[in-house]
Amino acid sequence: MMNWIAVGTLSDIPRRGARCVATPQGKIAVFRTAEDQVFAIEDHCPHKGGPLSQGIVHGAAVTCPLHNWVISLETGKALGADEGAVRTIPVRIEGERLFIALEALASRAA
Partner 1 sequence: MTEKLVIIGNGMAPGRMLEHLFEQVPGRYQVTIFNAEPRVNYDRIMLSPVLSGEKAFEEIIIHGDGWYIANGITLYKGHKIVAIDRTAKTVTSDHGVTESYDKLVIATGSVPFIIPVPGHDLPGVLTYRDLDDVQAMLLAAQSRAKAVVIGGGLLGLEAAAGLNSQGMDVTVLHVMPTLMERQLDPAAGYLLQRAVEQRGIKVITKANTQAITGKGKVEQVELADGTIIPATLVVMAVGIRPNAALAKDAGIAVNRGIVVDSGMRSNDPDIYALGECAEVNGQVYGLVAPLYEMARVAASQLAGNEAAAFVHMDTPTKLKVTGIELFSLGDFAEGEDRQEIVLRDAAAGVYKRLVLRDDRIIGTVLYGETADGAWFNDLKKKQTDISEMRDTLIFGQSYQGGASLDPMAAVAALPNDAEICGCNGVCKGKITGAITAKGLTSLDDVRAHTKASASCGSCTGLVEKLMVLTIGDKYNPAAVQPMCGCTTLGHDEVRRLIKAKGLKTIPAVMQELEWTTSCGCAKCRPALNYYLVCDWPDEYADDYQSRFINERVHANIQKDGTYSVVPRMWGGVTNAAELRAIADVVDKFEIPMVKVTGGQRIDMLGIRKEDLPAVWADLGQAGFVSGHAYAKGLRTVKTCVGSDWCRFGTQDSTGFGVRIEKFMWGSWTPAKVKMAVSGCPRNCAEATCKDVGVVCVDSGYEIHFAGAAGLDIKGTEVLGLVKTEDEALEHIVALTQMYREQGRYLERIYKWAKRIGIAEIKRQIMDDGEKRKAYFDRFVFSQRFAQVDPWSERVSGKDKHEFRPMASVGFAQAAE
10-49: which residues touch partner 1 (CB under 8 A)? 12-17, 19-25, 27, 30, 33-35, 48-49
Identify the H or E element spanning 17: strand 17-23
Pair 90, 2: CB distance under 8 Å? yes
Neighbours of 66 (CB within 10 A): 15
Residue among 67 and 83 whose Cβ is closer to partner 1: 67
Eight-state DSSP code of residue 77: B
Give min distance, CB of 21 to partner 1, in A: 5
| Closest to 27 in 3D by CA, of 3, 47, 9, 53 | 53
Neighbours of 24 (CB within 10 A): 8
Give min distance, CB of 39 to partner 1, in A: 14
49-108: which residues touch partner 1 (CB under 8 A)? 49-51, 54-59, 63, 65-66, 68, 70, 100, 102, 105-106
| Closest to 43 in 3D by CA, of 56, 30, 34, 33 | 30
Give min distance, CB of 34 to partner 1, in A: 5
Which residues of the chain form contacts with partner 1 (CB under 8 A)?
A: 5-8, 12-17, 19-25, 27, 30, 33-35, 48-51, 54-59, 63, 65-66, 68, 70, 100, 102, 105-106
